[in-house]
Chain A
């Protein structure tokens, strides 16, 4: 498997070098984290590294955009919360935000968790809006998509994992929760295998969440860059008439994916919480 991948990567790399005379690391430069903010052709801002508690904490590109997303979320949602004090009738930004809040509340939390879904609502809403804003901000030129970084998605998946275990243990008790993981009516001989499978299953769920979000948000950007790079690889402006519309199409697709991934992450987390809380189903 890895051999095949290396072969594909090498082939792609070599063909690119042959055609262009240089490597394609610029795509990775845009996708991956870095120590500078690029505003080409206007310039580059180099970011500092903090030294706290004996550790090096580099303020990277994605850290900056994490802060941007967080501040934007607080500002927008605070304004929305304040607008309700003026009037209970929504309008403008409140109206648009409210659609998502009600959707998360009714279609995701209420329908998958059921009773006492209110306790998990703040986490689900925060995760949904955090991913949604990250995905959309990543679509703006000169920005970075924090959700296309495996570290960020892994942390999000870990928070989801913590919420699922927390919900299950609070409802069923720590011992009852682990006992409830094993389905009823399993032959005694199979019990050791099922136990192991179910225990591993606890961790594969958030792992899949992290990989899904990361791969989806990375893939779209890579395809857009690859389509644009066709112009340089082919060394002709003519191909722009093909690659730019295609890149635009993928960009529009990315808008859909941005919404969809926020929904899927929240929906699956809610589903896992529901499964952990109501184990008898």
Chain B
């Protein structure tokens, strides 16, 4: 409908109106100007606008691509680094554990060793002490025996001097001493 209306106008004014020429007639003067302006515009814009703009767009696209790739690479590297760090940490932890266990073992060993030593030493000391006590006891006993013998001899001498002759006295005393020694 709209197009028909326009065509009706076009038909009405195609015979020529004001300004020379109708709606559908080509004006050579205007055609000249249009060609001139359009071709000049094409040349100027190609040099002034399109070349730098398209170059800038290409440059930007290349830059974006490069940056994205770089970021990807950096991300990968960081992941690798983190993994490496984790591994190192784990290793260190394991080592620390091992060292701790070893140290504990050494300490335990030391304790057992010193304990045993102490025991042995104590036993030795006790034995030595006992031996000494025994020897002292023997000494003391033998001394006491001697003194008793001497005392008894002295007593018997005094008693027998008064009551017995020499021969009988001696036999009696020997018998007596032998009895004591057996005990």
Known: A32-B13, A122-B50. A74 touches B3 (CB 8 A): no
Q: Is there an interface contact between B19 and A81, defined as CB atoms closer than 8 Å?
A: no
Complex CA–CA separation, A59 to B30 (angstroms): 8
Interface residues of B (CB under 8 A from A): 2-9, 11-13, 17-27, 29-35, 37-42, 44-46, 48-54, 56-57, 59-60, 63
Q: Is A150 an interface residue (CB 8 A)?
A: yes
Category for how many chain A residues contact B: 35 or more
Q: Does A208 contact B (CB under 8 A)?
A: no
* A-side contacts of B8, CB under 8 Å: 5, 8-9, 12
Complex Cα gap A55–B40 (Å): 21
User: Please, how many angstroms separate the alpha-carbon atoms of A219 and B41 in the complex?
Assistant: 27
Check if A66 sits within 8 Å of B33, measured CB to CB.
Answer: yes
Contact across chains for A74 and B12 when beta carbons are under 8 A apart: no
Establish whether residues B45 and A122, one from each chain, have CB atoms under 8 Å apart when the complex forms.
yes
Q: Please tell me which one of the listed residues B3, B17, B60 contacts residue A25 in the complex, with CB atoms under 8 A apart.
A: B17
Output the least CB separation between B38 and chain A (Å): 6
A-B complex: 8 closest residue pairs judged by Cβ atoms: A84-B56, A77-B49, A9-B12, A5-B11, A155-B34, A9-B8, A81-B52, A122-B46
Q: Which residues of A contact B45 (CB under 8 A)?
A: 73-74, 77, 122, 125-126, 129
Known A63-B30, A122-B50, A150-B24: A222·B9 in contact at CB below 8 Å: yes
Query: Inside 8 A of B26's CB, which chain A residues have their CB?
Result: 150-151, 154
Interchain CB contact under 8 A, A57 and B33? yes
> What's the minimum C-beta distance from B6 to chain A, rounded to whole angstroms?
5
Q: Are A28 and B13 in contact (CB under 8 A)?
A: yes
